[in-house]
Amino acid sequence: MSETENRLEDVEKKINAEDAALEEARRRRRETLGISRDVGGVLGTYASGSVAMGVVNDPVEDADGGIILDRRQYPSLGPDGGGDTPGNIVAELHALVGPAIREIWPKATVHDMKRGITVRMHAPLASGADPYVDIVVAMNRKDAPGLWIPNLATNCWDASHPQCHVELMLAGKRAPRRTRARVVRLAKAWNKQFAEPALSSFNIVALALECITTSMPIDEALLVFFDHAATSLAIKRTADPAGVSGPIKLESTKEVAVARLTAARDRLAVAIDAGDDPDAVAAELHKLFWTFLPEPLASASKAALADLMRQGSPRIRSTASGLAVAGAVTPKRSFGGSRG
């Protein structure tokens, strides 16, 4: 295993979700979905998002799911029915879930969100994790794959296919599936270090589905991801992997997203090229995962010299003891003459 792989595994250990918090998130989702079925006319329920895909990081913040309404019970609802907007059915679900969930979680509160409701239990675990549950109200599309899901911001319905997204992430042989999940978790951790992340978690998943199709060492796989993401987003936004929704919106400008991904790719490439040099690898990976990996001692001066070498400076050369400045002399200038 390479030095870069070892360091990336150190990051993974820090972002791995706590088992107890994961199980609690799943339990809270099951309970909330069970109550939500009582709204009536429900064909079924589904799990979605990072917990369902197996790509959640610590801390475990939420578990996503949804109910699918039977259009025969709601003939006036949605684009394939009478065109009724989602506001009333979401309000009905909100009113139903609040009192019922408080019989289990006395401090629970229910809030509207863009796609349905958010249920917060206000009952943290010993670790501090307090997973909430997002429930989407959905209807099967009549003559097309996927679901109609609410957009309360515009009081309309959007096409989506959350079940397919989960199926795609969990499909295939175990080895490439595991590699892809590891890449997603590491990329999410990298992205979230920024005060204003450039990518949504879903965008990271979609990009990984496009480029991580075989098993490979994690350092190589993450490099493939950053390279593909930077190259792809420079051309166009990422397509919905289910082929149902429109292109995925960036959380920042394209220029910011591409610049960050390009820098991440280049830093990881330098770390990989450093082989088993622990100082060089540590210095580069600290720049990539600065909230997870400590800055190595004396890395500032070494990093400055390494930057000069990458820029092809003829004044920097390698020696047996490290890096040296070739032909270093004290700069002189005639203060009475021209600056040139």
Q: Which residue has the tokens 């997870």?
A: 292
DSSP string, 131-164: -EEEEEEEEE-SSSSSEEEEETTTTEEEEE-HHH
pLDDT digits (tens, 9 = 90+) for 37-62: 999 999 999 999 999 999 999 999 99
How is domain 18-162 classified at the CATH fold level? Beta Polymerase; domain 2 (3.30.460)
**Residue 325, φ and ψ in degrees, nearest 5:** -90, 120
Position 338 scores a pLDDT of 33
Q: 155: which 2 tokens?
A: 């009081």
Q: How far is residue 290's CA from residue 48's CA, in Å, rounded to a whole number? A: 30
Distances (CA, A) of 302 to 281, 307, 316, 324: 11, 9, 12, 10
Position 297 scores a pLDDT of 78
Position 321 scores a pLDDT of 38
Position 288 scores a pLDDT of 99
Q: Where are the domains positioned within the chain?
A: 18-162, 172-324
Position 225 scores a pLDDT of 99
Q: 219: which 2 tokens?
A: 């350092």
Those residues of the chain that have pLDDT short of 50 are 300, 313-340
Dihedral sign from CA coordinates of 279, 283, 289, 292: positive
